[in-house]
Structure 1
């Protein structure tokens, strides 16, 4: 499967780097997209050259969005139009931290449950009255949309999606490779998809 990581200027490094490690080691084809195909600076520290701009990015099975200066992207008409144009070809949407604000403004979280960075829970609730925004949970899986809490929780959500798509054993192998000893499988809220039901959450 292919995964497009949308990276905006100021994006949080671990928000995308952690899940990128998970998905790439699990054998997914990961590529990066930004508003334009020009260097961005993550957290004012690391320069990243995206593979594509939104005008020439190929379709992907999964679209992923991340926190760190997500506000400008969430109100950018070109970014919103790009997301809407990808709806027919996209099987899953994934967000980490305040990347949920981008999905929310695109209408993808309407009538769903979601989570975000613990300091941004109330802001997301205010912005998205049609969404049930949950605190104290590592990730929320609606079946085709997965949102996670902040920073390190993105690794948990990525491992969860790998487990769904490639099996629990593959996810365990990835976690072992990364020496991610804190991972507890299914430590989140599952409200849709092949694994129905609720799993107890934990604080981010």
Structure 2
């Protein structure tokens, strides 16, 4: 191979490697009974936006069942999951997992380095168990607001709020609100233009950024 051509090839390869290296890892936790749209909505947002490496993680690599009829094989388990930059905690039947110590420890550990910890629906209960909602404002699925408030007396759980952004910790209301929360994360990290492009690609014309709450530290 001529020297010049080889140099160009190596340069292109290096640029491609650098581009791949800059991708943010998005770990989406799934479990038996997870709500389909809770994880599929954010998955679609991040997978449709350049710069994100999206994968699923569960307690093990054994298949899980979503809403009784969809079988999903997780990409990773908690023990071999790549270090996430963004963690998504969908809801659904989260009750049995709130007391799972390895999961809660993984959430705590991830929060020490992740840019964003995003919950959808009752996934906020996992953040609460990990102590990540204490002293913060948050939201969740409408029928879970009161139980979460009782379980997290040091937090303020809001109703009629599409998402709440506390900085690193972002919570969303139920089911489809996970799409709004994920689009908000994209806007936060990559700008409103990119987030709008993603929403347009998804033909999701229901995204209204003003429906969320961005909390100033003095407001908590």
The TM-score normalised by the length of structure 1 is: 0.92
> 2:200 is paired with a residue of what secondary structure?
helix
In structure 2, the partner of 1:116 is 140
In structure 2, the partner of 1:4 is 27
Q: CA deviation at 1:184?
A: 1.4
Instruction: Work out which of the residue numbers 181, 186, 209 in structure 2 matches 1:157.
Output: 181
Note the aligned Cα RMSD (angstroms).
1.4
Q: For 1:98-152, what per-residue CA distance to the aligned partner results, in whole angstroms no more than 9, with x for missing partners?
A: 0000110010111111000001100000010011100000000001110000001
1:99-178 matched pairs, under 5 angstroms: 99-178=123-202
Instruction: Work out which of the residue numbers 3, 23, 37 in structure 1 matches 2:46.
Output: 23
Tell me the matched-pair count. Answer: 195
1:76 pairs with 2:100: yes
The TM-score normalised by the length of structure 2 is: 0.85
In structure 1, the partner of 2:86 is 62
Q: CA deviation at 1:154?
A: 0.7
> 2:74 is paired with a residue of what secondary structure?
coil
> 1:57 is paired with a residue of what secondary structure?
coil
| 8 Å contact kept, 1:37–1:49 | yes
Pair 1:162–1:84, CA change in 2 (3 A): same
> 2:171 is paired with a residue of what secondary structure?
strand
| 8 Å contact kept, 2:111–2:117 | no
Q: CA deviation at 1:91?
A: 1.7
Structure with greater Cα Rg: 2
1:90-105 matched pairs, under 5 angstroms: 90-105=114-129
> 1:147 is paired with a residue of what secondary structure?
strand
In structure 2, the gaps of 5 or more residues are 1-23
User: Which structure's residues are more often helix, by fraction?
Assistant: 2
Q: CA deviation at 1:58?
A: 1.4
Distance in 2, Cα, partners of 1:132 & 1:105:
15
Distance in 2, Cα, partners of 1:30 & 1:110:
28
| 8 Å contact kept, 1:74–1:105 | yes
